[in-house]
Amino acid sequence: MRRLRWDHADILNYYHSTGFYLQPILSELSQFELGSGFDHNREASQFIEYVYENIVSVLHDSASNYVPKHHVNFYKFWWSQKLSCLKEKAIISDKLWKDAGRPRSGPLFSRRSSDKRAYKSAIRKHESAQ
């Protein structure tokens, strides 16, 4: 499922686009008279459906042009500053461990393991809390 990212949208162009393409629909609405015609209830119902479909189409097309879309889970909405710090700490200790030749024991190995474990544990806690 994809969602519109309104926080990254080109709102000004979206606004102008919808205004431009909704104007003819507004003109048609102002010309429609409910009292005219043989079966005015049926005619009114069809006209309402027609207007509704056109409005939805204009909004959809304008959004397609000016609002980016991403998969629902594209961004981690539950991410926090604490997780960023833990990630950075895990990256630093991993780099130090790699630069030392990837030892299988000792203080660098222990630090890398504990930082990685703390980071992964915090991710699981944040994900499950949401």
Tell me the pLDDT tens digit for each residue of 12-22: 999 999 999 99
86 within a domain of the structure (yes/no): yes
pLDDT over 80 at 25, yes or no: yes
Residues 15 and 67 in one domain: yes
Residues 49 and 94 both lie in one domain: no
In this structure, are 60 and 90 located in the same domain? no
Domain count, the chain: 2
The percent of residues in the chain predicted with pLDDT above 90, rounded, is 59
pLDDT: which is higher, 40 or 112:
112
Kindly state whether residues 97 and 58 are assigned to the same domain: no
- Is residue 71's pLDDT more than 50? yes
Looking at the fold, whether 85 and 112 belong to one and the same domain comes out as yes
Query: Residue 103's domain spans which residues?
Result: 81-129
Q: What is the pLDDT of residue 36?
A: 55
The answer to whether residue 38 scores a pLDDT higher than 50 is: no
Residue 76 lies in a domain: no
User: Do both 31 and 89 map to the same domain?
Assistant: no
- Tell whether 13 and 57 lie within a shared domain: yes
CA angle, 26 then 29 then 31, to 5°: 115
What is the residue-averaged pLDDT of the chain?
88
